[in-house]
Each structure stands twice: as structure tokens, then as C-alpha cells.
């Protein structure tokens, strides 16, 4: 998602399906046109603070309309993604259906079965990327070189078939790698070998 005007620049198919759109169709749409908040001005201000680096995450209960026009409720979480130089390069948005939401159909496997399993170091690295840590911050915390961090992030980008860090985090969320409703993001224990 672009930090300017909250325009969707990339989306997982599951995210787009919540609105009855394809991943290609949802790109270019304004997020605040897709979801409704009880306090729209506050939600816009929260995203402005996020895009300006004054906040690291946004959590809000929102509603939206699916492809059939039915209203669904969801918890929206937005997380700023920073460049290695510390600037905000995008925002990853996750929608988690709430109790009265229209739920998308599930595929044959449950969320927590199958899917990627990470080693402990890659799990810590993915949590750091999802929290918006820079390469330098990750290198310092994990006692690796900057090149080591970039190499491991590159491996994960290929493994998750993601073009960049925001897409990596979105794909990991979509695959059920992270525990629900936690900040900072934590990889589920069953996803770590």
C-alpha cells in the first residue's frame, strides 16, 4: 500500500476477495473507499501518523462490502514498513474477520497445518521485518552483518515468492505464519522448527 493517499499498490488474492475483487482489480483503489470506520477522520489521522513515522501500527474495527454487497466486519491492522535507511516505504494492511463477518471459504487445509516452517533465526528475522526494523537494526539485534541480513531476507523473498518486504509480510500473514492479533508480530510456535 502506498503511504500517499492510502492507495493499494499490491494485494494478496485473499485480501482482494474480501471485497469481491481480484488482486489486480484492487490495485489503485483507495483503502478508505473500501472500508468504513465509525470515526473516519480518526482512521485517516492514524494512517497519516503511520506514514509519517509518528506511529508504528494502527488497529481499528472497520466494515466493508463483499462482492455480493453484504457488509462484513473486520479488525484492520496497518504496519509501517521502513527502508534500510529508515524511511517509510509502505504500509502492510491486514484484515481479520470478526465474529459477525462474512467469512471467505476455507480451503481444504486449516490455517495452521501445512505451509512454511522456519528455523529460529528466520522466524526472528521475519518478525523484525514485520515490525518495520531496518537492516541495520536487524543486524545489530541478531548479531549478523548487514550483508547477512540482506542475504537471508532475499532467501525469504524467493521462498515466499514476494517481490519486496511489504509483500513478504503480507504473504506470511496470508499463510498464517503469524499469531493473530499480536503486536509486535510473532511467528506461531508450530511454524518454527
Q: What confidence tens digit (pLDDT) does each residue in 65-118 have?
A: 887 778 888 888 888 888 778 788 888 888 887 754 443 333 333 334 456 889
> What is the pTM for the complete model shown?
0.50
Looking at the structure of the chain, the number of domains it has is 2
If you average pLDDT over residues 180-187, what whole number do you get? Answer: 83
- Asked if residue 92 and residue 17 are part of one domain, the reply reads yes
Please give the Cα distance from 73 to 65 (Å, whole number). Answer: 9
Q: What is the pLDDT of residue 155?
A: 92
Tens-digit pLDDT profile for residues 4-44: 568 888 888 888 888 888 888 888 888 888 888 877 888 88
89/130 same-domain check: no
**Backbone phi, then psi, for 91, in 5-degree steps?**
-135, 130
- The pLDDT of residue 113 is 44
Is 35 in contact with 77 (CB distance < 8 Å)?
A: no
Q: Mark whether 26 and 80 lie in a shared domain.
A: yes
Residue 103 falls within a domain, yes or no? no
Tell me if residue 65 falls in helix, strand or coil. strand
Distances (CA, A) of 188 to 14, 79, 88, 161, 173: 20, 18, 26, 20, 11
Residue 175's domain comprises: 120-191
Distance between CA 50 and CA 90 in Å, rounded?
10
**CATH number for the domain that contains residue 89:** 3.30.450.20
Domain shared by 90 and 19, yes or no? yes
Indicate which CATH number applies to the domain containing 137: 1.10.10.10
Structural domain includes residue 104: no
Residues 72, 137 share a domain:
no
Quick one: 131 and 93 in the same domain?
A: no
Closest-CA residue to 165 (of 117, 143, 136, 133): 133
CB contact at 8 A, 91 and 57: no
Say whether both 93 and 143 belong to one domain. no
Which pLDDT does position 1 carry in this prediction?
Answer: 52
Cell of 4: 500517499
Mark out the alpha helices in 108-145 (DSSP H runs): 120-131, 135-142
The C-alpha atoms of residue 154 and residue 95 are separated, in whole angstroms, by: 26
52, 136, 152, 157, 166 from 145: Cα distances, Å = 28, 8, 11, 18, 22
User: What is the percent of the chain with per-residue pLDDT over 90, rounded to a whole number?
Assistant: 23
What's the grid cell of residue 59?
488497529
63 domain-assigned: yes
Alpha helices in 64-164 (DSSP H): 120-131, 135-142, 146-159
Amino acid at each position: 500500500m502506498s503511504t500517499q493517499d492510502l492507495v493499494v499498490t499490491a494485494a494478496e488474492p485473499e485480501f482482494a476477495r474480501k471485497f469481491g475483487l481480484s488482486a489486480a482489480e484492487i490495485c489503485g483503489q483507495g483503502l478508505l473507499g473500501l472500508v468504513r470506520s465509525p470515526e473516519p477522520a480518526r482512521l485517516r489521522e492514524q494512517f497519516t501518523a503511520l506514514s509519517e513515522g509518528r506511529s508504528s501500527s494502527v488497529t481499528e474495527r472497520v466494515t466493508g462490502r463483499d462482492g455480493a454487497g453484504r457488509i462484513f466486519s473486520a479488525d484492520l491492522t496497518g504496519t509501517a514498513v521502513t527502508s534500510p535507511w529508515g524511511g517509510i516505504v509502505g504500509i502492510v494492511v491486514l484484515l481479520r474477520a470478526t465474529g459477525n463477518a462474512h467469512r471467505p471459504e476455507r480451503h481444504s487445509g486449516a490455517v495452521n497445518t501445512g505451509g512454511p516452517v522456519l528455523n529460529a533465526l528466520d522466524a526472528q528475522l521475519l518478525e523484525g521485518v514485520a515490525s518495520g526494523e531496518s537492516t541495520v537494526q536487524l543486524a545489530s539485534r541478531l548479531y549478523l552483518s548487514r550483508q547477512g541480513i540482506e542475504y537471508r531476507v532475499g532467501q525469504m523473498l524467493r521462498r515466499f515468492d514476494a517481490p519486496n518486504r511489504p509483500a513478504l509480510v503480507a504473504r506470511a500473514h496470508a499463510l498464517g505464519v503469524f499469531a493473530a492479533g499480536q503486536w509486535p508480530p510473532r511467528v506461531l510456535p508450530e511454524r518454527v522448527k
